[in-house]
Amino acid sequence: MTEHGIPIWFFVGALLLVYGVLILAAGIVGLFRPPEVALANLHAGIWWGALLVAIGGGYVRAFRPRR
């Protein structure tokens, strides 16, 4: 009988996905209550959050545990 563990990349993807959701949510809140910082009009939180969600979702999908 062979034992198969859960790949570490699955957990890395899950962590990126969670961070991406949190950053994206903070960026969406920033649309309604804009921060008083330089270049706030670029909405970096939305872009980075969306990028992390996409990368994390890709990792979770690619390395999900299978039977």
pLDDT tens digits, one per residue of 1-17: 466 789 999 999 999 99
Q: What is the pLDDT of residue 2?
A: 60
Other C-beta atoms closer than 10 Å to the C-beta of 34 total 11
Crossing angle (nearest 10°) for helices 44-62 and 8-32: 160
pTM, two decimal places: 0.87
